[in-house]
Amino acid sequence: MLNRGLAHLFTIHTPFDAPILDRQRAAQESARGIWARGVPSGIVTSVSSTADGHDRTFDRVVDTTTGQADRAFHDHAYETCQEVCHQDACMRYLPHDQRFGSDAIVCPTSAE
């Protein structure tokens, strides 16, 4: 999947070995799969809001060169469907209890 650009690396603590990093880097350099439109410095993989009642709120951002998933601490209360961006990549915020099931919210796209 890495070779074809259909996945990206993600680790919280353990660094990846060079051969694994090389696979992702080759896909990025060849603009395959998810890298077809370019390679941001980070990928937002989760967002959380102070409105959810967490004591320590952070968004998780993966470095596209190392796969290291770091926490970007903040004190923002995001609005439902608000676009949250870090390092040239964005994700829309949904309250945790409204992400799944029959009552899940579907955010409008920018084309709607």
pLDDT of 111: 57
In a domain, 2, yes or no: no
User: Does a structural domain hold residue 12?
Assistant: no
Residue 13 domain-assigned? no
Q: Provide the residue-wise pLDDT of the chain in tens; the chain has 112 residues.
A: 999 999 999 999 999 999 999 999 999 999 999 999 999 999 999 999 998 887 789 999 999 999 999 999 999 999 999 999 998 899 999 998 888 888 899 998 765 4
Domain count, the chain: 1
Pull the structure tokens for residue 6: 């259909």
What the block records as the tokens of 89 is 């990549």
For residue 2, CA distances in Å to 35, 77, 98 come to 11, 35, 31
Domain carrying residue 51: 18-97
Quick check: is 4 in a domain?
A: no
| 41 in Cβ contact with 17 (< 8 Å) | no
Both tokens assigned to 31: 């603009």
Question: Residue 77 domain-assigned?
Answer: yes
Q: Is residue 37 part of a domain?
A: yes
Question: Which residue, 21, 20, 31, 24, is CA-closest to 7?
Answer: 24
